[in-house]
A and B are shown apart, each in its own frame.
Chain A
Amino acid sequence: MRIALFVTCLADTLFPDVGKATTVLLERLGHRVEFPQAQTCCGQMHVNTGYQREALPLIRRFVDTFEPFDVIVTPSGSCAGSIRHQHAMVARRHGDPGLATRAEALGNRTFELSQLLTDVLEVEDVGAYYPHRVTYHPTCHSLRLLRVGDRPLRLLRHVAGLDLVELPEADACCGFGGTFALKNSDTSTAMLADKMRNVLGTRAEVCAAGDSSCLMHIGGGLSRLRAGVRTVHLAEILASTRDGSP
């Protein structure tokens, strides 16, 4: 199957290993991954901060870039959520029903990584090996916008060597929320403190999630405290084998 990768601006710029892992994992499963060079950003930050007019060219670029492909995968529940639930709304609100129709159709073919693996490629055991104690934070948008449910956990349960420990109050937001983390940094930090308390309580060595943004937030807090827990994207775990990580 020909799959186009929307790597997200955040992973492209700050977390390239997440993009590499997604690519290597899908190739290992026998699929050809394409990376359209014209891609930039889905525009979610603009939309969620109120700058829809500024988001419009980014949405148009996304649609133009990915429309030729049958299936689009992205290692982010939040960006997939924005593509599926915001692009058409913004286009319509700004008087471009044609773009809205195209965005809607494209949204239906855009999948967050765990959705692509379990629903489209119908695989739960990806042949990964990751000998670590891991707890999983189900990010808000993958949970409540995309309804990925236990798909990431099903994938993790099949990873050889992985000791999966349940995260208490897992569905509580970590406090990232995009520009919320800057505009309301005190409240965001208070939410982060409770998330870190729960992560540390599991005695896991790795906190995993399907969104680089939430991981950057949780990981940034853990790093500041020298807490001794690292954050790793789901894709990186699934891409790891007995030969190491990509």
Chain B
Amino acid sequence: MSRTFLGLPAAGGSGGSSPRASTAPRGVGHLRGTEPFPAAARKALADSQLRRNLGKATATIRAKRAAAVAELPDWEDLRNAGQAIKAETMRHLDRHLAQLEAEVQARGGTVHWARDATEANQIVAGLILATGSREAVKVKSLATDEIGLNDALAAAGITAYETDLAELIIQLGRDRPSHILVPAIHRNRAEIREIFLREMGDADPGLTDEPAALAEAARLHLRRKFLSARVGISGANFAVAQTGTLCVLESEGNGRMCLTLPETLITVMGIEKVIPSWRDLGVFLQLLPRSSTGERMNPYTTMWTGVTPGDGPQQFHLVLLDNGRTAALADEAGRPALHCIRCSACMNVCPVYERTGGHAYGSVYPGPIGAVLSPQLTGVEDNASLPYASSLCGACYDACPVKIDIPSLLVHLRARHVEEARAARRVPGPEAVTMAAASWVMADPRRYAAAQRAGRAGRALSRGGRIRSLPPPLSAWTRARDMPAPPPRTFRQWWRDSGRDLS
């Protein structure tokens, strides 16, 4: 049936490789940034227009979501159900995927298994070339962005047209998405007008920055593409194994066009998107719109099952993508990151995301969920700064519709990072040395009290009870904040001096 299954190398495959499931390969796709998060964040924080655009947009979506969620008295029950369904599905992912494959094939679709981004790109390019077409229209899809499909298709001589309004803005502006639901959230409408006028070619020179005018310009620009394209490409929000049904939720209707007008439809889906049954889908169709756009129901829900003669695409290909997901599945503590239904509620409530924006994360998956998903897909070493890109404030966990305990996952991945560096026998860095020393000191109350006495030397650095400058790494603190001078007596000295019992 398949060359790869659940990420495991096919029998007789690449010999001598690690027994662990493979992670997403380097050099293809968009899961790794070019610099660590703190450096990328520093640049983003200096962009006051970006701060303003993001602050306004996330505050608006946060308020909408809060209102939509507050309407449902059984919201917590729904979250618990969503979490339980996802956990149970992951436990038997192999069975559900095999059932999905069988049901899709039984209804006239073709299923392809892609071990990683490179394989998936080859499969999709090959399928398009086989149709004789050199163009494709695309539904907004994170999976195809994750694998860098547009670049791979361009290299094969195929032009892919993004048809989601925000993705179109990104594509025309030769930009990168910065949010999984609102990819152009970092742009305001004046900037979007400029991009359209500059890049669209057929935009009315009198175009204003009214949202309706911008949408109309995009509509006119895209209509020709919808009517002429012979191949459509999509991702999937859900796939129901029970009947082999694929499901896409969207707001603009462009998705419906791409999913119904072309002769050939190619869907690229991460293997974790499968759900067992239609009953399960009912839970997620309630959780997702309220969590993402803050709507009771999204405007367009398109579902298709195999092919129907004379109606819609006559060729349907489903590409099941691993690209590091089996590796994430294998880590039981990290696995819940695969439960994500891509609603974006976590990034909309995240105080770090709100200030740095999505580009700083360097991955198609930004924000809190990206900080726990990207490092698992690529291997922690390749995204080592992301698990630390959080103050662990916990707002993401409260907002997550499937109750992914993102703060605990972040802490787990930080531990994996430290442990993997240790196992690789790299020379301990200054942080590791400091942490080991602090542990040694704190493990014994006498050493601890001695360290407190030594720390009192810090009083020499203070003026008026505060310290304005400390050496590295504490200089990172005193660049923007004062530090209190150590007091003349510690608490434990006060306790002794007060004559209270020593227990």
* Cβ contact within 8 Å between B480 and A185: yes
Mark contacts of A43-67 with chain B using CB atoms, 8 A cut-off: 1 yes-contact digit, 0 otherwise: 1011111111111011001000000
Q: 8 Å CB contacts to B: which residues of A11-31?
A: 11-20, 23
Residues of A within 8 A of B479 (CB): 185, 189
Which chain A residues numbered 72 to 123 have a C-beta less than 8 Å away from chain B? 86, 89, 93
The residue that A36 contacts in the complex, of B443, B500, B503, with Cβ under 8 A, is: B503
By the criterion CB–CB under 8 Å, are A16 and B491 in contact?
A: yes
Measured CA separation A140–B398 after assembly (Å): 12
How far apart sit A178 and B391, CA to CA, in the bound complex (Å)?
A: 7
- Near A by CB (< 8 A), chain B positions 395-419 give 395, 397-398, 408, 411, 414-419
Instruction: Report A81 CB to chain B, min CB distance, Å.
Output: 9
B392 in contact with A20 (CB, 8 Å): no
Give B419-453 as 1s and 0s: 1 = Cβ < 8 Å from A's Cβ atoms: 10000000000011001101100111100100010
Cβ of B455 and Cβ of A13 under 8 Å apart? Answer: yes
A47-B412 Cα distance, complex, nearest whole Å: 9
Bound CA–CA A217/B478 (angstroms) = 10
CA distance A175 to B452 in the complex (A): 26
Q: A140-B392, A187-B356 are contacts. A216–B45 as well, Cβ < 8 Å?
A: no
The answer to whether the Cβ of A9 comes within 8 Å of any Cβ in the partner chain is yes
CB neighbors of A among B23-64 (8 A): 37-38, 41-42, 45, 51
CA distance A175 to B476 in the complex (A): 13
* Nearest CB of chain A from residue B129's CB, rounded to whole Å: 45
Whether B130 is near chain A, meaning CB under 8 Å from some CB there, is: no
Question: How distant is A222 from chain B, measured CB to nearest CB, in Å?
Answer: 9
Q: Which one of A9, A57, A176 contacts B443 once the chains associate, using CB atoms below 8 Å? A: A57
Q: Could you tell me if B438 and A191 are in contact, using CB atoms closer than 8 angstroms?
A: no
Asked if A192 meets B439 with Cβ closer than 8 Å, knowing A12-B491, A20-B491, A223-B466, the reply is no
Closest to B467 in A: A220
* B398 contacts A182, C-beta separation under 8 Å: no
User: Known contacts being A35-B492, A144-B398, is A180 close to B390, with CB within 8 Å?
Assistant: yes
> Which of B89-97, B108-116, B242-250, B482-490 makes up part of the contact surface?
B482-490
Docked CA distance A229–B482 (Å):
14
Contacts of B438 in A (CB 8 A): 45-46, 54
On whether the beta carbons of A48 and B392 are closer than 8 Å, the reply is yes
B481 touches A217 (CB 8 A): yes
Is the Cβ of A186 less than 8 Å from the Cβ of B394? no
User: Is B474 part of the contact surface with A, judged by Cβ < 8 Å?
Assistant: yes
User: How far apart sit A221 and B494, CA to CA, in the bound complex (Å)?
Assistant: 28
A1 interfacial contact with B, CB 8 Å? no
Report if A202 contacts B (CB, 8 A).
Answer: no
- Check A13–B494 contact: CB distance below 8 A: no
CB-contact partner of A41 in B411, B415, B442, B500, under 8 A: B442
Q: In the assembly, what is the distance between CA of A114 and CA of B146, in Å?
A: 46
Q: Which residue of A17, A51, A189 contacts B435 across the interface (Cβ within 8 Å)?
A: A51
Contact at A40–B443, with CB atoms within 8 Å?
yes
Assembled-state Cα–Cα distance A186/B439 (Å): 27
Contact of A145 among B388, B394, B435 (CB under 8 A): B394
What's the count of A-B pairs with C-beta under 8 Å?
A: 202
Please tell me if B11 contacts chain A, counting CB pairs below 8 Å: no
Q: Which of A86, A176, A224 contacts B480 (CB 8 A)?
A: A224
Chain A residues near B415 (CB, 8 Å)?
A: 47, 50-52, 93
When the two chains form their complex, are residues A220 and B38 in contact, meaning their CB atoms are under 8 A apart? Answer: no
Across the interface, B439 reaches (CB within 8 A) one of A11, A54, A189, A190, namely: A54
The verdict on B74 contacting chain A, using a C-beta distance below 8 Å, is: no
B495 an interface residue at 8 Å Cβ cutoff?
A: yes
Name the B residues within 8 Å of A48 (CB-CB): 392, 411, 414
Please state if A144 and B394 are interface contacts (CB–CB under 8 Å).
Answer: yes
How near does chain A come to B492, taking the closest CB pair, in angstroms?
A: 6
Interface size on B, residues (CB 8 A): 68
Q: Beyond A49-B431, A219-B484, is A12–B452 a contact (Cβ under 8 Å)?
A: yes
Interface hub of A39, A50, A61, A190 (most chain B Cβ within 10 A): A50
Are the C-beta atoms of A177 and B42 separated by less than 8 Å? Answer: no
A51 touches B439 (CB 8 A): yes
Nearest to A188 among chain B residues (CB) is B391
Q: Is the CB of A220 within 8 A of B356?
A: no
From B352, B443, B466, B487, contact of A187 by CB (8 A)? B352
Tell me whether A37 and B492 are in contact (CB under 8 A): yes
Whether B500 and A13, one on each chain, are in contact in the complex, defined by CB atoms closer than 8 angstroms, is no
Task: Determine if B477 is an interface residue (Cβ-Cβ < 8 Å).
Answer: yes
A188 to B474, CA, bound (A): 14
In contact, A50 and B418 (Cβ under 8 angstroms): yes
Contact A16 B484 (CB under 8 A): no
B212 interfacial contact with A, CB 8 Å: no
Q: Are B435 and A46 touching (Cβ within 8 A)? A: yes
CB-defined contacts of B443 to chain A, threshold 8 Å: 40, 57-58, 61
Cα–Cα, bound, A58→B442 (Å): 7
Q: Please tell me if the beta carbons of B480 and A192 are within 8 angstroms of each other in the complex.
A: yes
Please tell me if A173 contacts chain B, counting CB pairs below 8 Å. yes
Which residues of chain B have C-beta atoms less than 8 A from A86's C-beta? Answer: 411
What is the bound-complex CA distance between A223 and B480, given in angstroms? 10
B338-377 contact mask (Cβ, 8 Å, vs A): 1 or 0 = 0000000000000110011000000000000000000000
Q: How far is the CA of A179 from the CA of B408 in the complex (A)?
A: 16
Known: A177-B393, A183-B388. A13 touches B490 (CB 8 A): yes
A44 to B385, CA, bound (A): 19
Q: List 21 A-B contacts (CB under 8 A).
A: A16-B487, A19-B495, A23-B500, A34-B503, A37-B502, A49-B431, A50-B417, A54-B435, A54-B438, A58-B442, A93-B415, A140-B393, A141-B394, A179-B388, A183-B388, A184-B38, A185-B480, A190-B45, A219-B482, A221-B480, A223-B466
Interface residues of chain B, those whose CB is within 8 Å of chain A, are 37-38, 41-42, 45, 51, 333, 351-352, 355-356, 387-395, 397-398, 408, 411, 414-419, 431-432, 435-436, 438-439, 442-445, 448, 452, 455, 466, 468, 473-474, 476-477, 479-484, 486-487, 489-495, 500-503
